[in-house]
Amino acid sequence: MFGFLKKNAECSIYSPVNGICFPIEECGDQMFAQKILGDGVAFELKDDVIYAPCDGEVSVIADTKHAFGINSSNGTEILVHVGFETTGLMGKGFETYVSQGDTVKKGQKVLKVDINYIKSQNLNV
């Protein structure tokens, strides 16, 4: 009737990382494992670059650089979050290649992660 309960058209989402994918229910953070922020998947990183998983607009980059959101070209909202408890690093160990409001293409570099630094802080990536 009004259209606000309609699902968006299909959106192809690609892996944002080089790594091993596993069910989100198996990740160590209950906020994600219980899908409080929505459905998704988790990855064990094998590389230090995080890529745009689809074409769209960067809707947000966390001040702490550990997460970003993309509104895909069909309206699907995607959150990419790196690590557990990484907000406490206050951006150290993360480098951004884009800014909020930028248009990105699937596979474009968005973040660089210093995996060794994060692990040296006894945090999981």
CA dihedral (100, 64, 27, 117) positive or negative: positive
Q: What is the mean pLDDT of residues 16-25?
A: 92
pLDDT band at residue 6 using 50, 70 and 90 as cut-offs:
very low
- In DSSP notation, 78-95 reads EEEE-SSSGGGGTTTTEE
Residue ranges and CATH numbers for the domains of the chain are 19-120 (2.70.70.10)
* Cα distance between residue 90 and residue 94, in whole Å: 9
Give the pLDDT confidence of 67-125 residue by residue, as tens digits.
999 999 888 899 999 988 899 999 999 999 999 999 999 999 999 999 999 999 998 88
Q: Is 81 a catalytic residue?
A: yes
Fill in the amino acid letter for 123.
L
Cα separations in angstroms, 70 against 14, 43, 52, 92, 98: 13, 18, 8, 22, 11
Q: Taking 80 as the threshold, does the pLDDT of residue 66 lie above it?
A: yes
Higher pLDDT, 96 or 40: 96
Indicate which residue of 51, 81, 94, 125 is catalytic. Answer: 81
